Chain A
């Protein structure tokens, strides 16, 4: 409902071949928190392609803006920056994009033909600083004064024509929330890219071309002169900020300084010594409960959809290996992971709302002190929270951490957080341990979550002392004004994250699903061999009903296949943890995706691939006996299994993303290695201790 109708009425325009070359490129520049992305989203009708700037992990968003007639431009959203001094990776990327690479390499193919500089009407003096640096580059530019509508509500009127005179470029007041001023912005864009038209005659804003230098000189020097002064190591920052402050004062009609008494009062509470953390905990708890609760609904639909697909494929395809590959390998494997998509989208939707409102910056202030003690920067808390849905988008979102050491530390510990894929395993174990005690089951869940978090902080502390020495880079963060969050942006953000998850994880998941299917299908169990197995255990095949026979066959086939053999082969390794060989096979099959263990155990214990109810599985598991007649799943085994699954790195798609984001398989391998050792050791201790006392 909150997606503006025009995004529906304007179809996704596939770029006609060859059109990219001749289309003008316009880059958007501005501070973080000035609503640059909102302006971008409105101009491009929420259609953007996300990629990285070459050789970096900084996101580059690109979209097409339709102007009147057949005109269109490519719009590139540069990262939010405070200056072009290149003191951060974002600034370096933005500067290189605008000026061409300083190392003499040819400029990027999509070097901009023009610029949109976005400034914040509620804080002109701060946001104009970058405008001066950027205007000095000499590219054609338009200044978009965003948030005019909220400034107006705060009693601030921006004198757009005066600002335009002083800056010597067109200035348009816009509001990305209401859409105000966007028609004007688009016609300015069109005008800017058509130098054929005599600029000076067009009207108000443009007439200032000649006199502006003089006006600027009133503040000291013209834009160009001052930029040169910056090069000679004078005082470019002080000059720039004073210029911006003066300009802001002069082009603001009434009101002047926005009253931020309300902001102050809210901040006093939200960043208070102990009230702040308490509110933080409450906000996160409510957000998460809501996300997980609401996500259940679409997850059921998706589950149904994949079930329907599997049924459909079963009906259409002839029985045989190919059908099995499609149904049990591709549909079941991909469906098992895609089911988490609603959670991921909803979580990022909620986080976008929190960020847009201005709260997230305060949360970082509150949490930074605690995170720092274990060697993580405050900004890492967003990825760490997101990891509770899925580690993949969480690792992708560590892009917000500029410092490489800090980012690596965060990526390394993210998979220790309890992701949604662990929940089926927790559920199974809780059902075995506490079949009818919901309270204890809830405590078990909470402990598993806590164990993951504690392990993440402990490991991060260990890394700080060993592998990744040093302190996280000190916090410098802008605290934006509180704002009403934009649903439109949040939807856009959620969609983008979901799409990144599908795009980056999708192919990996497909390949892994097929590989696991091959390993658990071949070599195939010959019928006569199955008959022998039955006979040797004293079962008369003819007495079994059809389903029972099929389930027993599935169990025997799994045992006979490569993965079963591997499981039996490694079984002695897992024996000290209290796992029998069937559980060891489960651990093997779940190394690619942890939730697989549930279906593997279900098959191995003769329930067939899809038991009707979880209840039947836990009953079967609880009743399972070892060869000597003792129960296979004692309390100690269950605890040990739980601890192992909390801590182990059993997710190949995550490994692929770690490789991509760190740039090396080395880090992915290290992550796998340390987590496996940690999980094994912790499960061993858990088993030996609980076995002694229970």
Chain B
């Protein structure tokens, strides 16, 4: 199932699964959008949620970034799955592998 949701909705709903998605759009003023993009949250980037809530913590480009929920609401991500293949919280290597695969492809 492919769906477009806001980044702040992309949390570990069951408390079990790392949620991943691909950023499709940043509905934010240029200054804010550019800051996020420079830090690695650009259109096409794969992100994984490390902690939900406000501020939420997302993983992208090999780092962790804390983002206020009000910003996360304006970042649209495309998610292909509501259930990821990783069954452990913090299976970062898995997420990164997937991100890597996505980039090559």
Contact = CB atoms under 8 A, between A and B. Distances in A.
B is a partner of A: yes
Interface stretch (B3-11, B42-50, B77-85): B42-50
A303 B2 CA distance: 70
B55 A245 contact: no
Given A126-B61, A259-B93, A361-B66, A268 B35 contact: no
A129 B42 CA distance: 12
A651 to B, nearest CB: 34
B62 A126 contact: yes
Contacts of A478: 39, 63-66
Contact of A238 (B32, B44, B100): B44
A321 interface: no
Given A238-B43, A267-B50, A273-B53, A82 B35 contact: yes
A331 B71 CA distance: 54
A475 B90 CA distance: 23
A436 interface: no
A138 to B, nearest CB: 21
B40 to A, nearest CB: 6
B54 interface: yes
Contacts of A125: 61-62
Nearest to B31: A87
Contact of A245 (B32, B61, B90): B61
A241 B45 contact: yes
A267 to B, nearest CB: 7
A365 B55 contact: yes
Contacts of B62: 123-126, 245, 248, 257
A474 B68 contact: yes
A237 B38 contact: yes
Contact of A87 (B38, B89, B103): B38
A307 B44 CA distance: 67
Interface string B69-100: 01100000000000000000110110010001
A265 interface: yes
A476 B96 contact: no
A124 B51 CA distance: 24
Contacts of B67: 474-476
A261 B64 contact: no
A61 B53 CA distance: 37
Contacts of B30: 87
B66 A365 contact: yes
A368 interface: yes
B34 interface: yes
Contact of B96 (A244, A257, A271, A480): A257
B17 interface: no
A265 B51 CA distance: 11
Nearest to A477: B66
A263 B51 CA distance: 13
Contacts of B36: 476
Contacts of A575: none
A365 B38 contact: no
Nearest to A471: B70
Contacts of B40: 126, 129, 241
A479 B57 CA distance: 9
A524 interface: no
B32 A474 contact: yes
Interface in A233-272: 235, 237-238, 241-242, 244-246, 248-249, 257, 259-261, 263-265, 267-268, 271
Contact of A271 (B34, B57, B65, B92): B57
Contacts of A479: 57, 63-66
Contacts of A259: 92-93
A476 B57 contact: no
Contact of B61 (A241, A364, A474, A476): A241
Listed residue (A124, A248, A257, A480) with the most chain B CB atoms within 10 angstroms of its CB:
A257
A365 B54 CA distance: 8
A296 interface: no
B35 A87 contact: yes
A248 B62 CA distance: 10
Nearest to B55: A475
Nearest to A83: B38
Nearest to B96: A257
Interface string A571-602: 00000000000000000000000000000000
Nearest to A123: B62
Counting chain B CB atoms within 10 Å of each CB, which of A83, A87, A244, A361 scores highest? A87
Contacts of A260: 64, 92
B49 to A, nearest CB: 12
A267 B31 contact: no
B100 to A, nearest CB: 8
Given A260-B92, A267-B64, A478-B64, A235 B43 contact: yes
A125 B63 CA distance: 9
A476 B65 contact: yes
Residue of B31, B68, B96 contacting most chain A CB atoms (<10 Å) = B68
Contacts of A365: 55, 57, 66
A629 B34 CA distance: 72
Contacts of B43: 235, 238
Given A235-B43, A238-B42, A365-B57, A264 B90 contact: yes
The 3 closest A-B pairs by CB, nearest first: A83-B38, A474-B68, A237-B37
30 contacts: A82-B38, A85-B34, A87-B30, A87-B32, A87-B34, A87-B38, A124-B62, A126-B39, A238-B43, A238-B45, A245-B62, A248-B62, A257-B96, A259-B92, A259-B93, A361-B66, A365-B57, A368-B66, A474-B32, A474-B68, A474-B71, A475-B66, A476-B32, A476-B39, A476-B68, A477-B55, A478-B39, A478-B65, A479-B57, A480-B63
Interface of A: 82-83, 85, 87-88, 123-126, 129-130, 235, 237-238, 241-242, 244-246, 248-249, 257, 259-261, 263-265, 267-268, 271, 273, 361, 364-365, 368-369, 474-480
Given A478-B64, A480-B63, 6 more contacts: A126-B62, A257-B62, A261-B90, A365-B57, A475-B55, A476-B71
